[in-house]
Structure 1
Amino acid sequence: MNITRENIDELNAIIKVKVEKNDYAESVEKVLRDYRKKASIKGFRPGMAPMGMVKKLYGKSVLLDEVNKIVSENLTKHLVDEKLDILGEPLPSINAESDLDFDTKEDFEFAFDIAFQPAFDMKLSKRDKITYYEIEVDETMIQESIENHKSRFGETSEADMVEAKDLVKGKFEQLDTDGNLLEDGIFTEDSLFAVDRIEEENIRALVIGAKKDDIIDFELKKAFANTTDLASMLRIDKEVAEQLEGNFRFTVQSISRHQPAEVNQELFDKVYGEGTIASEKEYKNKIVEEIKASFVSSSDYKFLMDAKEKLVSKADLKLPDAFLKRWLVAANKELTTESVEKDYPLMQADLAWQLIKNKITEEQALKMEENELLDFAKQSVLMQFRQYGLMHIPDEQLEAYAKQTLTNEDERRKMVDRIFEQKIVEYLKETIKVENKEVSMKEFEELFK
Structure 2
Amino acid sequence: MNVNHVNTDALNAVLTVKVDKNDYESKVENALKDVRKKASIRGFRPGKAPASLINKMYRKSAVVDEVNKLISENISTYISEQKLNILGEPMPSEKQESIDWDTQNDFEFAFDLAFAPEFEVKLSKRDKVPYYSIKVSNEIRQSYIDSICGRYGSYEASEQAEGESLLKATLTELNADESPKDGGVSVEDGMVSVMLVADEAEKAKFIGTKVGDVMVVDVTKAFPNETDRAALLKVDKANLETIEPLFQATITEVKQYVKAQVNQELFDKLFGEGNVTNEQEFHQKIDEDIKQNLKGDSERKFFVDLRDKLIEKFNIELPKEFLVRWLVAVNEGKFTHEQVEKDYPSFEKDLKWQLIRDKIASEQEFKIEEQELVNIAKGYIANQMMQYGMGQLPEEFIEKYANDLLTKKEERRKLAEQLIDNKVVTWLKEAMKLEEKEVDFEKFKEMMQA
Residue of structure 2 equivalent to 1:52: 52
Q: Distance in 2 between matches of 1:174 and 1:92?
A: 77
Q: How far 1:325 sits from its partner (Å)?
A: 1.6
Question: Residue 350 of structure 2: SS of its match in structure 1?
Answer: helix
Residue of structure 1 equivalent to 2:120: 121
Residue of structure 2 equivalent to 1:313: 312
Residue of structure 2 equivalent to 1:105: 104
Q: CA separation of 1:397/1:343 partners in 2, compared to 1, >3 Å: closer, same or farther?
A: closer
Q: How far 1:142 sits from its partner (Å)?
A: 4.5
Q: CA separation of 1:260/1:403 partners in 2, compared to 1, >3 Å: closer, same or farther?
A: farther
C-alpha contact (below 8 Å) 1:12/1:113 kept by paired residues: yes
Q: How far 1:275 sits from its partner (Å)?
A: 6.3
Equivalent position amino acid for 1:251 in 2: A
Residue of structure 2 equivalent to 1:251: 249
Q: CA separation of 1:278/1:2 partners in 2, compared to 1, >3 Å: closer, same or farther?
A: same
Q: How far 1:431 sits from its partner (Å)?
A: 1.5
Residue of structure 2 equivalent to 1:369: 369
Q: CA separation of 1:120/1:101 partners in 2, compared to 1, >3 Å: closer, same or farther?
A: same
Equivalent position amino acid for 1:305 in 2: V
C-alpha contact (below 8 Å) 1:271/1:391 kept by paired residues: no
Q: CA separation of 1:133/1:193 partners in 2, compared to 1, >3 Å: closer, same or farther?
A: farther
Query: Which aligned pairs between 1:90-239 and structure 2 lie closer than 5 A?
Result: 90-95=90-95, 97-98=96-97, 100-146=99-145, 148-149=147-148, 152=151, 162-168=161-167, 194-198=193-197, 203-208=202-207, 209-211=209-211, 214-217=214-217, 230=225, 232-234=227-229
Q: Distance in 1 between matches of 2:91 and 2:98?
A: 15
Q: Distance in 2 between matches of 1:105 and 1:192?
A: 83
Equivalent position amino acid for 1:403 in 2: N
Residue of structure 1 equivalent to 2:89: 89
Question: Residue 45 of structure 2: SS of its match in structure 1?
Answer: coil
C-alpha contact (below 8 Å) 1:328/1:340 kept by paired residues: yes
Structure 2 gap segments, 5+ residues each: 232-244
Residue of structure 1 equivalent to 2:328: 329
Q: Distance in 2 between matches of 1:439 and 1:220?
A: 52
Equivalent position amino acid for 2:360 in 1: I
C-alpha contact (below 8 Å) 2:125/2:432 kept by paired residues: yes
Length, aligned pairs only: 429
Q: CA separation of 1:256/1:85 partners in 2, compared to 1, >3 Å: closer, same or farther?
A: farther
Confirm or deny that 1:69 pairs with 2:64.
Answer: no
Q: CA separation of 1:289/1:343 partners in 2, compared to 1, >3 Å: closer, same or farther?
A: same
Question: Residue 15 of structure 1: SS of its match in structure 2?
Answer: strand
Using structure 1 for the length normalisation, give the TM-score. 0.81
Query: Which aligned pairs between 1:282-361 and structure 2 lie closer than 5 A?
Result: 285-333=284-332, 334-361=334-361
Using structure 2 for the length normalisation, give the TM-score. 0.81
Q: CA separation of 1:141/1:377 partners in 2, compared to 1, >3 Å: closer, same or farther?
A: farther
Equivalent position amino acid for 2:375 in 1: D
Confirm or deny that 1:29 pairs with 2:29.
Answer: yes
Equivalent position amino acid for 2:249 in 1: T
Moved more, 78-87 or 30-39: 30-39
Q: Distance in 1 between matches of 2:396 and 2:76?
A: 44
Equivalent position amino acid for 1:131 in 2: P
Residue of structure 2 equivalent to 1:78: 78
Q: CA separation of 1:390/1:217 partners in 2, compared to 1, >3 Å: closer, same or farther?
A: closer
Structure 1 gap segments, 5+ residues each: 237-246
Residue of structure 2 equivalent to 1:385: 385
Q: How far 1:103 sits from its partner (Å)?
A: 0.9
- Deviation track 1:193-238 (CA, whole Å, cap 9, x = no partner) reads 53134577765442021547833346976x78xxxx74553469xx
C-alpha contact (below 8 Å) 1:360/1:424 kept by paired residues: yes
Q: Distance in 2 between matches of 1:18 and 1:423?
A: 44
C-alpha contact (below 8 Å) 2:174/2:246 kept by paired residues: yes
Q: Distance in 2 between matches of 1:49 and 1:219?
A: 77
Confirm or deny that 1:412 pairs with 2:412.
Answer: yes
Q: Distance in 1 between matches of 2:289 and 2:385?
A: 15
Q: Distance in 2 between matches of 1:319 and 1:349?
A: 10
Q: Distance in 2 between matches of 1:160 and 1:32?
A: 91
Moved more, 307-316 or 132-141: 132-141
Question: Residue 112 of structure 1: SS of its match in structure 2?
Answer: strand
Q: Distance in 2 between matches of 1:395 and 1:276?
A: 29
Equivalent position amino acid for 1:102 in 2: W
Q: How far 1:409 sits from its partner (Å)?
A: 2.7
Two-structure CA RMSD over aligned residues (Å)? 3.7
Q: Distance in 2 between matches of 1:349 and 1:65?
A: 38
Q: Distance in 2 between matches of 1:173 and 1:138?
A: 55
Moved more, 291-300 or 249-258: 249-258
Residue of structure 2 equivalent to 1:421: 421
Residue of structure 2 equivalent to 1:14: 14
Equivalent position amino acid for 1:195 in 2: V
Q: CA separation of 1:175/1:85 partners in 2, compared to 1, >3 Å: closer, same or farther?
A: farther
Q: CA separation of 1:138/1:252 partners in 2, compared to 1, >3 Å: closer, same or farther?
A: farther
Equivalent position amino acid for 2:320 in 1: D
Q: Distance in 2 between matches of 1:384 and 1:188?
A: 41
C-alpha contact (below 8 Å) 2:211/2:254 kept by paired residues: no
Q: CA separation of 1:413/1:136 partners in 2, compared to 1, >3 Å: closer, same or farther?
A: farther
Q: CA separation of 1:235/1:9 partners in 2, compared to 1, >3 Å: closer, same or farther?
A: farther
Q: CA separation of 1:191/1:408 partners in 2, compared to 1, >3 Å: closer, same or farther?
A: farther
Q: Distance in 1 between matches of 2:186 and 2:431?
A: 66
- Deviation track 1:412-435 (CA, whole Å, cap 9, x = no partner) reads 222222222222221221111211
- Deviation track 1:85-122 (CA, whole Å, cap 9, x = no partner) reads 11111111124x34632111211111111011111112
